[in-house]
Every structure is written in structure tokens, then in C-alpha cells.
Amino acid sequence: MSKTKVAIIGSGNIGTDLMIKVMNHSQHLEMGAMVGIDPASDGLARAAALGVPTTAEGVEGLVKLPNFDEIEIVFDATSAKAHVVNNDRLQPFGKRMIDLTPAAIGPFVVPAVNGDDHIGAPNVNMVTCGGQATIPMVAAVSRVVPVAYAEIVASIASKSAGPGTRANIDEFTETTSSAIVSVGGAERGKAIIILNPAEPPLIMRDTVYCLVNASDPATHDEIRQSIEKMAGDVSAYVPGYRLKQQVQITEIAADQPVETLLAGGDRPTHQVSVFLEVEGAGHYLPTYAGNLDIMTSAGMQIAERIAQQKETAR
């Protein structure tokens, strides 16, 4: 059975890593094109050496490729602003867009949480690296007890943050905060990203704080079990994803000023703290770049599901 052809716009770190994943590890996808704007980029050179059609003329070059009509799914690994232009150009051709930028044109998708909910959408947004790592934990808690407030802190190696990531810092916080609510299920959400300049570069670390009403000790066990199950679901497609230490559930002190974080309602009784580590697979990027690896892995997971559904429907 023929595989679904995909194109990748963006020949930088994320796009190149995604290409290698598709070529070496995909069951239902095959490369149709690698698209960039820098003729000297390593990504375009590697693609050409591997026999993948390439263009350095951006989305217009993609449209001009002889095999453009064969391409069904397009990954966008550029920037939030560029994605708006790319999406507008490709939608009239009926291409399915998987957005790895924080543009948030389409619905937010986190494979372990709502991976099957938007399979038919023309454009799906993969939130952010911090969102892919932490929103599953917020969702795991909210499946047991309502989350009044969730805060995530994503710490990544400065070396793993390229020009696109740095240009999208504001969009990162806004998009992730929004998805913590719409996908994670929290009533309010906040996202913080830290670019750690330490040498040697440190692996991606994420911390998730959830404020909940959980006075019953039995609820604590349910929360821990839900989190552990979710961690297993994510690690199925991101093998380097793991809980760094035991989940902590602590009582909120009476004098702790949490009211300013809440949208209203009862004052939460406990704080759930989850500590994560994301190690990259090392397919193209260094293993410390788990922040980039989780994005490419999540994006490919959704594309696999879209392609598999198409094959089933035949």
C-alpha cells in the first residue's frame, strides 16, 4: 500500500529532524518535498542527498514542484507569522496543514490528550514544545479533579533555541497558556519559558503546578495514577519523556496568597507538582534538545493518524 506523501516547510533544525524521522521511522508517511528559503541550509543539502525533492523558494517553490499534487500533508516548521502566509497559500489546494509554530490558526492538538479529536481539520496546531510536554500532565490531573489554576515552566538549553524559537517567545507563552485551558482543562493557565545558557547544555526540564480541591487522600492516589498513565501514553511516541521524581501533592497554607491566580470559586486546598524531563532521540538534534524532539515526534504522530485513517477509508 502506498504511503502518504508529506512536505516540510522549514529546513532548519526542526524540519530536518522531522524529515529524518519520517524517512527512517514512519509507517504511513514518505517525504515528498523539503522546502526552505536558504539555498545553503544543511536541511536542504541533506534532503537533496537523500533524494528528496527540494526548493529554496519557500511556499511558492513548493507549489511549483512537479510532484506538488501528490503531496497531501504539509508540516510547517517556520514561524508563527510565516505560517499565516503559508496556510493561506496552500489551503485552496486542499493540503492538510500540521503547524509546528505557535500561530494557532487551527485547533490545538496534543496527541496523548486529544489526538483523535481533530483528525479531519484542515489545519491543526501542535501548540509549543512546552505545551506538548506539560499539557498532558494538566489533563491527567483534570480528569480526576477540577484544576482551578495550572502553571507550567519549561526550561530548555539555550543552544536548542534557534532563531524561530526566539522570534516566537511571546507567541509561546500566549499559545501555551491558552492550550492549558482549552486542552488541559484548567480554569486558568500560565506558561513560562526559560532559555538556560548552561554549558554543557542541559536536557529539557518541565515543571507543572496545579491548584485543586483534593482533601480526600484517596483522590491523591487517583491523581498520581492518572499522571503515571499519561506519562506512559506520551512516552509511547516520545521515548525520552519521563517523570523526574515522584508527584508531590501538598496542602496549600492558609496564608499563601493564591486568590490572585484564580478565576473565582472556592479556594483550592492542595498543590500538585509534577517534574518532567524530556530527552531527545538524537535522530538529527543533540539529545539535550528534547524540546525540539517532542515537537517533531508529536507532529509526526498526528500525521501518522491522519494517513492511517485515510488508508482505512480506502
Q: Which domains does the chain have, with CATH numbers?
A: 4-126+293-313 (3.40.50.720), 129-286 (3.30.360.10)
Q: Would you say residue 16 has pLDDT above 90?
A: yes
Residue 287: CB atoms within 10 Å: 15
pLDDT, tens digit (0-9, with 9 covering 90-100), for 192-213? 999 999 999 999 999 999 999 9
Cα-based angle 190, 195, 200 (whole degrees, multiple of 5) = 140
Which residue shows C-alpha cell 507543572?
A: 208
Q: Would you say residue 168 has pLDDT above 90?
A: no
Q: What is the pLDDT of residue 181?
A: 98
Report the chain's mean pLDDT, rounded to a whole number. 96
Number of residues assigned to the chain = 314
Residue 291's nearest CA partner among 199, 191, 184, 154 is: 154
pLDDT, tens digit (0-9, with 9 covering 90-100), for 81-122? 999 999 999 999 999 999 999 899 999 999 999 999 999 999
106 labeled binding residue: no
Q: What is the pLDDT of residue 34?
A: 98
Q: Would you say residue 241 has pLDDT above 70?
A: yes
218 labeled binding residue: no
Which residue shows C-alpha cell 506520551?
A: 234
- Is 0.85 topped by the overall pTM? yes
100-104, 105-109, 159-163, 293-297: least confidently modelled range: 159-163
166 labeled binding residue: yes
Q: Would you say residue 21 has pLDDT above 90?
A: yes
12 labeled binding residue: yes
123 labeled binding residue: no
* Calpha distance 227→15 (Å, rounded): 30
pLDDT, tens digit (0-9, with 9 covering 90-100), for 245-263? 999 999 999 999 999 999 9
* Calpha distance 150→187 (Å, rounded): 8
DSSP, collapsed to helix, strand or coil, labels residue 137 as: helix
158 labeled binding residue: no
Mean pLDDT across the stretch 37-44? 97
165 labeled binding residue: yes
Q: What is the pLDDT of residue 52?
A: 98
Confidence class of residue 1 from pLDDT cuts 50, 70 and 90? low
Which sign, positive or negative, has the C-alpha torsion 55, 58, 59, 61?
negative
Tell me the catalytic residues: 129
Calculated CA dihedral for residues 25, 28, 32, 37, nearest 10 degrees? -60
